[in-house]
Amino acid sequence: MSLKRMMRFASADLAIDLGTANTVVYLRDRGVVLAEPSVVTLETTNGITTVRAVGDDAKLMLGKTPDNLQTIRPLRHGVIADLDVAEHMIKHFVKKARAHSGARRMKSPEIAICVPSGATPVERRAIRDAASNAGASRVWLIEEPMAAAIGADLPVTHPMGSMVVDIGGGSTEVGVMSVGGMSLSLSERVGGDQMDEAIVSHVRRHHNLHIGEATAERIKKESGSALADGNPEAIRIRGRDAVRGVPREVEITRGEIAEALEGTVSQILDAVRRALEATPPEIAADILDYGIVMTGGGSLLHGLDTVISRVTGLTVRVAEDPLNCVAVGAGRALEETDYRSVLQAA
C-alpha cells in the first residue's frame, strides 16, 4: 500500500445519507458499512428521558411501545424535525460506522452529509451542526440529487444531460445534471411515507380497520403498485376493528391498494413533468437519449417506472441498489477528485 493511500486510510472519512426513512453511512475506501432506519426509541423513567434504542432495534418497536417508551423519527421530509434526537442518532451511527475502521479511529473524520435540494439555510445549518457535533473535523454538504446521480453512475462530469428522480420516505427530488453541476433541481414533499398513510386511511375508511404504519409499509412493499389496473387478487391484512376495537382480519384486493396509492403517484408524476418542462432544450435532447434514472426506496414501488415512462415517453430505469445510491454518490465525492467540486464547505 502506498503511503498516500495509508494516509487516506488514516482519516476514516464518512459520507452520510441522513434520510427520513433510513440513514446510510459510507466509509471512505470501504463502501456502505451501515444502513438502518432513522428511528430512535426514548424511555422516560421518573421524569428522566434516555435513549433506549436506535435504528433497526428502534424500528421493531414502532407502534408497539408502552407508555413510558416513545418512538421518534427525527426527520421529516428529509430535514431535521427534532434536533436533539437527530444528533443523538447521528452520533450513534457515526460511532457504529467507525467501529469498522479499526486503527483509523484515532483521527476525527471529515463528514460529507447530504441535504435535500429544497432545504432552507436554517435546515442546512441544523444538518451541518449535527454532523459537527457527532465529531466531524470538517463538514461538507452535498445536494441529494447530485449524490444520487453520482451513486447511480450518471455521466455527471460529461457534457451530457441526464435526469435523476430520487424517491425517498419523505421527499421526491428531481435533478437535472450537466457538466459537473446541477442545472435544475426540484423537491416535492411526497414519498413513501405518504403512500403508507394513504393505505392506512383507505383501510380505515373502506374496511373499518385500524392498521399501523409498519403494517401499511409492508402491504405497500409486498402488494402495492403504481398501476391502477383493478387487479382483483386479494390479500389478507390484520388490524384493530375501528368500531368494536377487537383484532380482525380483512381481505383487500391489490387493485384497491393501487387505487389508494394513486394520489401520491400522481404527485410524483407532476414533479417529474414540471422538471422536464423547465429543462433547457439542449439538455432535454440528451435526456431523450439517456432516459430517466430512479433512485431511493420509493423507486421500488411496483410499476412506478412503467407509469413514469408512459407519461413522459422516456426510457426509465431503476438504479442498481437504489436505497444506497445517495450515500455511495456522496462517498465517491469524498474519494474521487473528479467529483470533489460537488462538495460544499459548510
Ligand X SMILES: Nc1ncnc2c1ncn2[C@@H]1O[C@H](COP(=O)(O)OP(=O)(O)OP(=O)(O)O)[C@@H](O)[C@H]1O
Our CB check for Mg ion shows the closer of 41 and 324 to be 324
Q: Of 19-27, 68-76, 222-230, 285-293, which part binds Mg ion (CB under 5 A)?
A: 19-27
Q: Of 4-12, 96-104, 160-168, 306-314, which part binds Mg ion (CB under 5 A)?
A: 160-168
Please report whether residue 55 would count as binding ligand X according to CB under 6 A. Answer: no
Q: Minimum Å distance from CB 133 to ligand X?
A: 20
> In the Cβ-directed half-sphere of 330, how many Cα atoms lie within 13 Å?
30
Q: Of 43-51, 207-215, 242-250, 295-303, which part binds ligand X (CB under 6 A)?
A: 295-303
Q: List beta partners, residue 48.
A: 45
Please report whether residue 170 would count as binding Mg ion according to CB under 5 A. Answer: no
Please report whether residue 254 would count as binding ligand X according to CB under 6 A. Answer: no
Our CB check for ligand X shows the closer of 301 and 342 to be 301
Phi-psi region of 328 (alpha: psi -120 to 50; beta: other; left: phi over 0): alpha
The single residue listed with the C-alpha cell 467501529 is 99
Grid cell of 175 as nine digits: 435533478
d(CA 113, CA 109): 12
Q: Minimum Å distance from CB 76 to ligand X?
A: 9
CA proximity to 130, closest of 170, 73, 92: 92
Q: Which of 21, 177, 199, 200 binds ligand X (CB under 6 A)?
A: 21
d(CA 298, CA 33): 22
Q: Which of 170, 175, 239, 331 binds ligand X (CB under 6 A)?
A: 170
Q: Which of 14, 15, 19, 328 binds Mg ion (CB under 5 A)?
A: 19
CA proximity to 339, closest of 185, 60, 75, 149: 149
168 neighbors 297 (Cβ within 8 angstroms): yes
Q: Which of 193, 256, 286, 305 binds ligand X (CB under 6 A)?
A: 193
73 neighbors 39 (Cβ within 8 angstroms): yes
For 50, the enclosing helix (H) or strand (E) is strand 48-54
275 neighbors 176 (Cβ within 8 angstroms): yes
Q: Which of 217, 256, 286, 305 binds ligand X (CB under 6 A)?
A: 217
CA proximity to 344, closest of 30, 27, 125, 23: 125
Please report whether residue 74 would count as binding Mg ion according to CB under 5 A. Answer: no
Our CB check for Mg ion shows the closer of 97 and 283 to be 97
Grid cell of 100 as nine digits: 469498522
Please report whether residue 192 would count as binding Mg ion according to CB under 5 A. Answer: no
Q: Minimum Å distance from CB 9 to Mg ion?
A: 28
Enumerate residues 235-294 that contact Mg ion by CB under 5 A.
Answer: none
d(CA 127, CA 62): 24
| x-marked contacts with ligand X along 149-168 as a string, rule CB under 6 A | -------------------x
The single residue listed with the C-alpha cell 441529494 is 144
Please report whether residue 168 would count as binding Mg ion according to CB under 5 A. Answer: yes
Q: Of 17-25, 120-128, 134-142, 255-263, which part binds ligand X (CB under 6 A)?
A: 17-25
239 neighbors 211 (Cβ within 8 angstroms): yes
Please report whether residue 215 would count as binding ligand X according to CB under 6 A. Answer: no
The single residue listed with the C-alpha cell 442498481 is 320
Please report whether residue 78 would count as binding ligand X according to CB under 6 A. Answer: yes
Q: Minimum Å distance from CB 18 to ligand X?
A: 8
Other beta carbons within 10 angstroms of residue 89's beta carbon come to 29
Binding residues for Mg ion, rule: CB under 5 A, are: 19, 168
Binding residues for ligand X, rule: CB under 6 A, are: 19-22, 78, 168-171, 191-193, 217, 220-221, 224, 296-298, 300-301, 323
